[in-house]
Structure 1
Amino acid sequence: MSTPGSSAHLAEQRADLLRFAQASRHPSGFGWLDEHGRLDPSHPVELWITCRMTHVFSLGLLAGEPPAPGGPDEATLRSLAEHGVASLTGALADHENGGWFAAVGDDGPVADVKQAYGHAFVVLAASSAVAAGIASAPALLADALAVQSRRFWDEERGLAVEEWDRAWSTLDTYRGVNANMHTVEAYLAAADVTGDRTWHVRAGRIGAQVAAWARANHWRIPEHFDAGWTPLL
């Protein structure tokens, strides 16, 4: 048995996590797993899960070490990361209006709103896949960043807006910190792989605004806001 915290122990833990996660592969992306670690067909394929799994398998590739016993090998990890990118340019992508559906079923989108939460994860998945050398990832990342700049980034407020309808014609009045938190994560990853400091600056602006809210509120962070960024208390 390996010693907790040792390199061997960490490799074993990583292998177990990646082995468990690979069961989430679905023809349209990556899906929910049940309590036995089996794909649960009662749930649609969700954008955020597909993105997070693509990120995870890309990180597995980036670890750059031989897999521990029981873990997927490099070829399997690469296939899974490639599948994730293909899903984000295929079933989950809105080829008519741009952006990505929140969830899809066998017959198409079942949740067609365009959410900052899920779109942030597209940037993260694409960034990690670029770093892992997935060939089709740079084009996906370019598309995802263009959507961020055009649809979600509010230059005046230095924050991301929350949700659009399918055709990008109506912006919801709700604003939230949770999606902005994940947007920071995504922007930092994008800056690292593109070298474009714009994304570092934007991530910093979000962080500065949230810190200002916390400072003015006894270091408690409001999460829910209206369209004018007034807290919904």
Structure 2
Amino acid sequence: MNVYRTHEGLHHAFRDVLNFYYPDCIDVRTGGYVAQLDEREGYVYDSRSKHLVATARAVNNFSLGTLADGPEWCRTAAEHGLRFLSTVHWDPEQRGYDWLLDGRVPVDRTRYCYGHAFALLAGARAHQAEIPGGREELDRVFEVLEERFFEPDHGLYADRASPDWSELSSYRGANANMHTLEALLAAGEVTGEEHFFDRAYTVAERFARELAAETDGLLWEHYTDSWAHDLSYNEDEPDHQFRPPGYQPGHHAEWAKLLCLLAEHREEKWLLTRAMELFDAAMDLGWDDQYEGLYYTVESSGKPIVDDKYGWAHAEAIGASALLARHDTTYLEWYDRLWEYATTHLINPRYGNWYERLTREGELPEPDHGPEVEPGYHPITNCWLAMERLDREEGTLMAGE
């Protein structure tokens, strides 16, 4: 049997990623985290850059470590990061979170909904782990998201604003809304307050039903400020790091996971139906039958645009298949297949961290040593999610055959 169908196997993978980052990630000089670790050898290649998303994700990670009865240092590490997020990243004058710091000095104060979404997630998970200040952070970020980013006429969130909030970008995107949905679900689960689920439902319905209906059920990433599909966006930059053209199988799986989570709090049957449709689309269009693994971006026909394989996409598909398997055990086949690919290609055999990106054939390219890093949030979150649901179901989550 796949060892990752057991609590012990999942906890081992979860713990390995935490151990890769701790203690080197704790910046005792300037505060916050050092998130820029070389994914192959583990050395620090940039000790100065403090990226909002990396900070918030690491708070999430160590809070989940606390919830999963991890080492005692998980709690102190989460407290350490939350203090930095709530004081140094936070701009009290403009009431928003700074995007990028050099040590403690802001170098990019652009207000990104994406970054604020992860700050909300960090506050929610810290509150769940009873980290002091978690609830206060949750409430503060939600207020900013509602006042500055949410567009009532569209039922969705804008993407970014200038540092003083005077200018709002005309770009609208799926990614910021997807992660805001994720954070809203976490906030609802840890507080029990329905207004978080109400807002999450609005976002999910607008994207997964209404907007997707215009693209044959698939989820496009890029939109105009009136929320019209911008189908030509970045078509001349197929390798764009953060906003590539095409459909992303990994995001289809991630939306499927989030719809499953929302379905635990809403009775509308379309949520699970769409979750299955989106996951099936991710695998039908994105799975590489020759070399295994999920392509990064594809055309609506399934023809790959960028055939690289990203670790985050497979971690999200693992989480989605674990949740879907509670409703249809045939999804266990994908759960096992995804874990097999991850353990063979994506997980560093020396440290247990996950590689960011592979070539189509499964080779490691030269590492990207930029400030935007993924500090293990995707595998940690999805291992924790599977463990938590397995415990809730008394070990039956992935026992079916």
| Fold agreement, TM-score > 0.5 | yes
Cα offset, 1:18, TM superposition? 0.9
The answer on 1:47 being equivalent to 2:48 is no
Name 1:230's counterpart in structure 2.
Answer: 228
1:202 aligns with 2:202: no
Residue from 31, 36, 50 that aligns with 1:32: 36
1:95–1:16 distance in 2 versus 1, CA, 3 Å:
same
* Distance of aligned partners of 1:43 and 1:227 in 2 relative to their CA distance in 1, 3 Å threshold: farther
Per-residue CA deviation, residues 180-230 of structure 1 (Å, 9 max, x unaligned), is 000100111111222221111111111111122212211222211111111
Distance 1:165 1:46 in 2: 17
Query: How far did 1:8 drift?
Result: 3.0
Is contact 1:117-1:162 (8 Å) kept? yes
Paired residues for 1:73-92 under 5 Å: 73-74=71-72, 76-92=73-89
Q: Which has the larger radius of gyration?
A: 2
- What per-residue deviation string (whole Å, max 9, x for no partner) do you get for residues 23-78 of structure 1? 323334222211322333266210001111110110011113xx5xxxxx22x111
Q: Which amino acid aligns with 1:24?
A: C
Q: How many residues align?
A: 224
Report Cα offsets for 1:81-113 as digits up to 9, x if no partner.
001110111221112111101110036111110
Gap regions ≥5 residues in structure 2: 232-401
The one-letter code sitting in structure 1 at the alignment partner of 2:58 is M
SS in 2 for 1:188: helix
CA distance in 2: counterparts of 1:191 and 1:107, whole angstroms: 32
- The answer for the alignment partner of 1:70 in structure 2 is none
How far apart are the structure 1 equivalents of 2:104 and 2:215? 47
| Structure 2 Cα separation of the partners of residues 104 and 178 of structure 1 | 23
Q: Which has the higher contact order (CA 8 A, sep 6+)?
A: 2
Give the aligned CA root-mean-square deviation in angstroms.
1.8
Query: Residue 87 of structure 2: SS of its match in structure 1?
Result: coil
Which residue in 1 is equivalent to 2:117? 120
After TM superposition, give the deviation of residue 14 of structure 1 in Å: 2.0
Q: Distance in 1 between matches of 2:161 and 2:18?
A: 34
TM-score by length of 1: 0.90
45-54 or 222-231, larger mean C-alpha shift: 222-231
Cα pair distance change 1:107/1:50, threshold 3 Å: closer
Judging changes above 3 Å, is the alpha-carbon distance between structure 1 residues 54 and 42 closer, same or farther for their aligned structure 2 residues? closer
Match of 2:173 in 1: 176
Q: What is residue 255 of structure 2 aligned with on the other side? A: none
Distance across 2 between alignment mates of 1:60 and 1:42: 23
Letter in 1 for 2:215: N
Give the aligned residue type for 1:113: T
CA contact (8 A) 2:88 2:104 kept: no
In structure 2, distance between residues paired with 1:41 and 1:145? 31
TM-score (norm 2): 0.53
